[in-house]
Copies of this chain bind each other. A is one copy, B any other.
Amino acid sequence: MTRALTAKGAATRQRIVAGAAELVRTRGADQVGLDDIRAATATSKSQLFHYFPDGRAELLRAVAAHEAGEVLNDQQPFLDELGPAGTWQAWRDVVVQKYQEQGIHCPLSALTTQLGPADPGIRMIVADLLETWHTRIADGIRRAQGEGLAEPSLEAEKTASSILAAIQGGVVMMQATGNIEFLKVPLDAAIADVEPVAGV
């Protein structure tokens, strides 16, 4: 599958993906053409097709995979440390802050709804991301139960679904309304079962 790539070639490829990802994030996938990517990454048409023989579609899949990785990276190390008291709030703060910074520009939604329907490959990338994300949260819930923080009767998988849905839904609503409260409130409510907040 992967071809012989020199260090220089790999760097160029990486530069293309990162540049394209940036554009897709800020403008939306359908507002980004190959010429935009070419200009933004100081490359030429032939380079794009050299590294992505299937053209635009393959490049966007690479962008999707890149962004999916970033979503989880942005939550580290907090995501993997979920469990003990205080870790949920710390993680929540990172997530909220991240999306507040991004504002309208969500790497995931840009890809899921814009290209997902048309490209099964991208749907799979997003599905994998959600599954991984879900698993990490569920692991955190089980650790919280081990610490006696959360009710042992709580079903980790289901609670993780609720928390993750609160984030996804909150982001959707925030994007449409511009109001970050639509992310904060549902997320706080969702994690209340594993880490009750004292104040407000």
- Partner-B contacts on A (CB < 8 A): 27-28, 30-31, 104-106, 109-110, 112-114, 116-118, 123, 126-127, 130-131, 158-159, 161-162, 164-173, 175-178, 181-183, 185-186, 189-190
Contacts and interface: CB of A to CB of B under 8 A. Distances in A.
Contacts of A28: 113-114, 117-118
B177 A131 contact: yes
B169 A185 contact: no
A114 B130 CA distance: 20
Contact of A112 (B105, B113, B116, B182): B113
Contact of A162 (B30, B161, B189): B189
B177 A165 contact: no
Given A166-B166, A169-B169, 13 more contacts: A28-B117, A109-B109, A113-B114, A131-B177, A161-B185, A162-B185, A162-B186, A165-B169, A165-B172, A165-B182, A166-B186, A168-B170, A168-B172
Nearest to A159: B189
Contacts of A114: 28, 30, 113-114
A138 to B, nearest CB: 12
Contacts of A104: 117
A190 B161 CA distance: 11
B175 A116 contact: yes
A96 to B, nearest CB: 13
Nearest to A187: B165
Nearest to A125: B176
A104 B177 CA distance: 23
A187 to B, nearest CB: 8
Given A158-B189, A165-B186, A185-B158, A172 B109 contact: yes
